[in-house]
Structure 1
Amino acid sequence: MTSCNLAFQLHASNSWQGGFNYQLSVISSLTEFYSDSVSITVFASNDHPPGDLEAIQAFPQVFLIVDNIFSRKFTFFRSFISLILGFDPWLRPYIYKYSLTTIFESAQFVGSNPLVERVLAWIPDLQHRTLPANFSFLAWLRRDLGFRLQATSNRFLIFSSSASRAQFSTYYPAYSPSCAVVNFPPIITRTDLDASCSVDVLSVYSISRPYIFLPNQFWLHKNHLTVLSALAYLPSAERPLIVATGSTIDYRRSDYFSLVRHRVVSMGLCEDFLILGSVPRSHFLALMFSASAFLNPSRSEGWNTSVEEAKLFGLPLLLSDISVHREQANNDSSFFHPNDHIALSVLLQASFRDASGFGVNRFCHSEYIDRRRDFAGKLFSLISGCSDHQS
């Protein structure tokens, strides 16, 4: 029997891939392990990419409601009205119609009296505090006020990492909200794996030599420029191939992708830095298990999905030395300061000389299932009685 009716507004993958991945992980894990105890309602709009809606529709037990009021462009307006009224008037009819008991907030605010039994608020990271220059004043203020409202409005806060939880305590020492750290796993289905195995991804993208996989969105804080400097520092005969995927749109710095492309050409790296942009999921996984190593040079992360995927595929990890990467790392991880292109060049050169893992699929399915089950259990415990937990 269903004991909890959970609802949240869906993030669009083309504006925030990490947020979309997180929500999909929540849906997938809960429906797999707690389908008899949790009912899920997802709110989306017509400006979501079709693939996002199809991904939700793949879960027959999930109610998908498409209404343009749930467009990202109205999020701030709805949050402002919810702050004034104490509840979201556009959400209210759905709360009553579907007997919603729990709302999972993320980058929004549904009011101090939201008409449901409990509200869980996901705090993905504190990037506006650690890298404030990446935000306009208004974007910084909206994010900061949003976190403060969530911390003081009887929410239960969920952090993706202990690093984010520690940063929250540092930047908001006056608040002591109920909270928990829940590390989320990626979603890699049998269907995804089967589809990826049927793709000759090396031929599709004309890749003829071992490569290091860099699957980051082209956002400023993802730090592609340090990678380019590291490649340029190496003799051309000792440069590994970097294959980069991810959305090319940074809504905060619209010129960033153009800057990366310009640097690739001006630094003579066209043969060593391959930009693929957004690729199908099956291609992404095929690129992951065919790589010789994984690279994430980011300056800030909440909990990086691709790092978790690379671990499941057994790839050596080349990671920027930030606290969350230390938390995610395994025994096959190497670190470099995100500003130190020379240190990164040493790691890239070592990877170039040892490409023994190129084209080898080492995916560990049993570990993947165990992690999903653990994630679902922790999440269900919080959803069904979050006021009783503190960490």
Structure 2
Amino acid sequence: MVTVAFVLDLSNNWLGGVNYYRNLLTAVSRYAPDSIRVKVFLPKGQDMDAFRDLSKNIEFVSVSFPARWTLPWFVRKLWMKFFHEDRFLARHLLHHGVDVLSHAPNSVRCQGLKNIAWIPDFQHKYLPEFFSNEELSSRDAEFERMAACMDKVILSSETAKNDFIKYYPQYKEKACVLRFAPVLDFDSPKQVNLVEEKYGIIGKYFFLPNQYWKHKNHKVVIEALRILKEEEKFVRVVSTGNTSDYRAPGHFAAIEAFVKEYELGDRYLILGMIPYADVQALAEASLGYINPSFFEGWSTTVEEAKYRGKPILLSDLKVHREQDPRRGVFFDPNDPEDLAKKMWDLWQQPILNEDIDVLKRKNEAALQEFAREYADIVREMHKLNKNFDN
């Protein structure tokens, strides 16, 4: 059996990344435990609560990486910089019988096994104004090294794959698409009344579960609510997610100021970071989702709406069109009037709840396909590695 490793650092507060890995590892744990063996390597002392329930079919290994600013740390950094390989990590992985390193943490190879990279999207190419010049150069260099040094590069959508081929045509044969499916909790919604009472929510609402990064474009939703208020039309949106954006430290404060200036506090509820079970309950009880983002790789929000059978108002992006939610309504992310009209149209429609057993089966089928496609990628890499060894 092929053994695949993930090396995860969960300390950067990238919730989208945590959710992605949780979805993938859950799918593999449920549907491919006899096909591939998974080992997850975490820096020693790091909190693994997000994955604790997966320990039945997945082995978690603590690694003591060299402490910052020590001589071993400097030696490792210099070796990685000049030779683009990580002998320290490779030694640990090979010691644990790893055949394939998946979703490599950087563009540096681990010799002696196959290396797979993951590039979620090319946002910096389309929205360079949201990045510093240093970040733009760093991303370009990192992605190009991944294309050159990795054995395979996973992209989360055909849209991202097309971008990869456009920027790195000489490595197009390395690109493959792995669309993720969400792991939904269909039991926590039973606590809907308690959760709504907990946050003081009365009546229907749209659900907006995006982090407050600038490109997520919450502003267009609040502008739409302002327009609706001027038209004396009441619509409510409940927002959850991390309120910090390291690239735009004042962004969330500006959002709060706008809500206060136009007295939208009863129409736009900001809950911030809340327990996952509460997020699931609010999603299930909502009228539908909103995703106003300027850019996505493969949107978790859209996938959740699909498998919950919920309507979703979503920005008109190529990747959103590719995701093709059955009850999706597209709008121009730069046009709050367009969104306001479509919010009001949907607000007046009754909430239609689909059969939960049917939705569960669809979600499980999607996770099973996700696991199968991923296992096929890993096994193909292992096969190539065995052929190379021979």
Q: What TM-score, normalized to structure 1?
A: 0.88
Distance 1:66 1:339 in 2: 46
Is 1:384 the counterpart of 2:382 in the alignment? no
User: Which secondary structure state, in structure 1, belongs to the residue aligned with residue 87 of structure 2?
Assistant: coil
Contact 2:189 2:284 in 1 (8 A): no
Distance 1:388 1:332, change over 3 A: farther
Larger Rg: 2
Distance 1:384 1:38 in 2: 8
1:32 is aligned to 30
User: Which secondary structure state, in structure 2, belongs to the residue aligned with residue 238 of structure 1?
Assistant: coil
Distance 2:7 2:69 in 1: 13
CA RMSD of aligned residues (A): 2.8
Contact 1:298 1:338 in 2 (8 A): yes
Q: Which amino acid aligns with 2:218?
A: H
Contact 1:44 1:71 in 2 (8 A): no
Distance 2:207 2:104 in 1: 29
Is 1:96 the counterpart of 2:90 in the alignment? no
Match among 13, 17, 20 for residue 18 of structure 2: 20
Distance 1:164 1:250 in 2: 23
How far is the alpha carbon of 1:232 from its aligned partner?
0.7
Alignment of 1:13-92 (within 5 A): 15-45=13-43, 48=46, 50=47, 52-56=48-52, 58-67=54-63, 69=65, 81-92=79-90
Distance 1:93 1:171, change over 3 A: closer
Match among 333, 337, 348 for residue 338 of structure 1: 333
1:198 is aligned to 191
Is 1:127 the counterpart of 2:123 in the alignment? yes
User: Which structure is higher in helix share?
Assistant: 2
2:313 is aligned to 318
1:109 is aligned to 107
Q: Which amino acid aligns with 1:224?
A: H
Contact 2:117 2:150 in 1 (8 A): no
Is 1:212 the counterpart of 2:212 in the alignment? no
Distance 1:67 1:4, change over 3 A: same
User: Which secondary structure state, in structure 1, belongs to the residue aligned with residue 41 of structure 2?
Assistant: strand
2:222 is aligned to 228
After superposition, give the CA deviation of every residue in 1:198-251 in whole Å (9 maximum; x if it has no partner): 352221111112100000001000000111111111135313100001111212
Contact 1:11 1:20 in 2 (8 A): no
2:388 is aligned to none
Distance 2:55 2:250 in 1: 37
User: Which secondary structure state, in structure 2, belongs to the residue aligned with residue 354 of structure 1?
Assistant: coil
Contact 1:239 1:352 in 2 (8 A): no
How far is the alpha carbon of 1:359 from its aligned partner?
11
2:387 is aligned to none
Alignment length (residue pairs): 379
Is 1:245 the counterpart of 2:240 in the alignment? yes
How far is the alpha carbon of 1:194 from its aligned partner?
2.4
How far is the alpha carbon of 1:11 from its aligned partner?
4.6
Is 1:369 the counterpart of 2:367 in the alignment? no
User: Which stretch of structure 1 is more off in the superposition, 63-72 or 339-348?
Assistant: 63-72
Q: Which runs of 5+ in 1 are unaligned?
A: none
How far is the alpha carbon of 1:120 from its aligned partner?
1.2
Distance 1:265 1:68 in 2: 47
Is 1:7 the counterpart of 2:2 in the alignment? no
Contact 2:240 2:270 in 1 (8 A): yes
User: Which stretch of structure 1 is more off in the superposition, 144-153 or 32-41?
Assistant: 32-41
Is 1:153 the counterpart of 2:146 in the alignment? no
Q: Which runs of 5+ in 2 are unaligned?
A: 385-390
Distance 1:366 1:119, change over 3 A: same
Distance 1:362 1:136, change over 3 A: farther
Q: Which amino acid aligns with 2:211?
A: Q
Is 1:168 the counterpart of 2:161 in the alignment? no
Contact 1:158 1:182 in 2 (8 A): yes
Distance 1:349 1:360, change over 3 A: farther
Distance 1:293 1:221 in 2: 21
How far is the alpha carbon of 1:272 from its aligned partner?
0.5
Distance 1:266 1:252 in 2: 24
Distance 1:360 1:177, change over 3 A: closer
Contact 2:160 2:297 in 1 (8 A): yes
Q: Which amino acid aligns with 1:272?
A: R
User: Which secondary structure state, in structure 2, belongs to the residue aligned with residue 99 of structure 1?
Assistant: coil
Percent identity between the aligned chains?
Answer: 30
Distance 1:241 1:83 in 2: 51
Match among 348, 358, 381 for residue 353 of structure 1: 348
Is 1:296 the counterpart of 2:296 in the alignment? no
